[in-house]
Amino acid sequence: MKKKLELHVHTTYSKDSILTFPFLLLMCKIKGINCIVITDHNEISGAEYYRKKLKKHKIDVIVGEEIFTSKGEIIGLFLKEKIEPMLSPKETVNAIKNQGGYVYIPHPFDTQRKKSVLKDSALQKIIDDVDFIECHNGRNVSLSFSKKQKEIAKKYDKIGVVGSDAHTFYELGRNYCLVNSYCKEIFKEEISKATFFTKKCIKAAHFNTKIARAIKLIKRGEWNELYRIIKRKFKKRSKKIVR
């Protein structure tokens, strides 16, 4: 029987996610998700915590991490230890491989997320060690992004995957794949022949994660960081008005 696997999921352990355990469990049950890959930003403690909790409900978790490198984001799958952010892409890839993990490139093209997209020049330097390239991200605000992402995966002859990138409960179960197994030893083979299901982005999700990030900054008393973000947003808007 085929199993439903959801790649690239964020929990409240990410600075911009509002996905709590009760809602994650509820949606996994409603949507029939057998396994999720938790890839919190620069963190694996959430994935480890959720893995223990969800195991009791017969839902598996693959521990991952979306790591912010000096040139953009890279995801590591099947990790045992946290990888520190702001290393070079090559150092990050080496750290993933040293743990026996897989290298996954999220959203390789997205004009709305320029800072998090791994630069193509950087991707070329690590391409031999890349296992998967995301050819559709559940948060793509334009289908043209998915088209471009598929072209990049094809260009480098890498296994294309569909990433949920869920930060909220209502994004779960919309972008996933069906596999026979998600066992680490045959993971690449299974993903290469998986059946993918995709849906358009729920644009309100982007707004919700911005609010979530602001609330978390306020709770931590990081007023300077909040001010910096708000100031940057106003600058962008003012530039658009001038044009």
Tokens of 45: 């403690």
Tell me which residue has tokens 């990138």: 165
* pLDDT recorded at residue 232: 61
Q: Which of 30-39, 155-164, 221-230 has the lowest mean pLDDT?
A: 221-230
At 226 the pLDDT is 56
Residues 144-148 have a mean pLDDT of 96
pLDDT higher than 70, residue 220: no
User: 131: which 2 tokens?
Assistant: 């296992």
**What are 84's two structure tokens?**
């520190």
How would residue 215 be classed by pLDDT, with cut points 50, 70 and 90? low
Instruction: Report which of residues 237 and 131 the model is more confident about.
Output: 131
User: Looking at 11-20, 48-57, 132-141, 206-215, which range is the least confident one?
Assistant: 206-215
CA angle 102–45–129, rounded 5-degree value? 15
pLDDT at position 210 is 76
Residues in contact with 190: Cβ distance below 8 Å, sequence separation at least 6, in sequence order: 179, 180, 181, 182, 183
Q: What mean pLDDT do residues 102-122 have?
A: 94
pLDDT computed for residue 11 by the predictor: 96
Reply yes or no on whether the pLDDT at 138 is more than 50: yes
Strands 35-38 and 102-105 come out as: unpaired
pLDDT reading at 242 higher than 70: no
| Residue burial 152-166, b: 16+ Cβ < 10 Å; e: rest | bbeebebbbbbbbbb
Q: What's the CA gap between 99 and 152, in Å, rounded? A: 26
Check whether 166 has a pLDDT greater than 90: yes
Nearest to 106 by CA among 66, 144, 60, 150: 66
Q: Are 12 and 19 in contact (CB under 8 A)?
A: yes
Q: Which of 65-74, 102-111, 215-224 has the lowest mean pLDDT?
A: 215-224
Which residue has better confidence, 208 or 191? 191
Please, what is the average pLDDT of the chain?
91
